[in-house]
Amino acid sequence: MATLFFSSWRAGGFSPVATGNDVGLLERALAALGRPAWEVTPRDIGRVVGDLAVKGPSTSTRCEYVQIFKGFHRFLQAHKAAEIQARTRRP
């Protein structure tokens, strides 16, 4: 689904260079969260941001993780909610 997310960015006029950097960032954020995006809770986000703070990345890097995930999560809600509900059998 991340591929569709970034394809929508490119269709919206974002350059491959700009989206290329964010692809890796989203992949790292999702790996750190350790669960599908539709199952992530605010507590999970807090854990990942806290872990990053301990490891030393800058505040702006931590914000980038949160922002890219928020954008991806909004994309899923807007474009893939029915598909996710069908797959997970959750409302």
- Reported as a pLDDT band with limits 50, 70 and 90, residue 4 is confident
At residue 36, the pLDDT reads: 85
- Reported as a pLDDT band with limits 50, 70 and 90, residue 91 is low
At residue 5, the pLDDT reads: 77
Regarding the domain delimited by 2-88, which CATH topology (the fold level of the hierarchy) does it fall under?
Answer: DNA polymerase; domain 1 (1.10.150)
Q: Say whether pLDDT at 81 is over 70.
A: no
Q: Say whether pLDDT at 2 is over 60.
A: yes
11, 20, 23, 16: which is closest to 71 by C-alpha? 23
Count of H helices and E strands in the chain?
5, 0
- Which pLDDT tens digit goes with each residue over 19-61? 878 888 888 888 999 988 888 888 999 999 999 899 988 899 8
Handedness of CA 68, 72, 73, 78 (dihedral sign): positive
**Two tokens at 65?**
């993780």
Distance, in Å, from the CA atom of 5 to the CA atom of 72, rounded to the nearest integer, reads 7
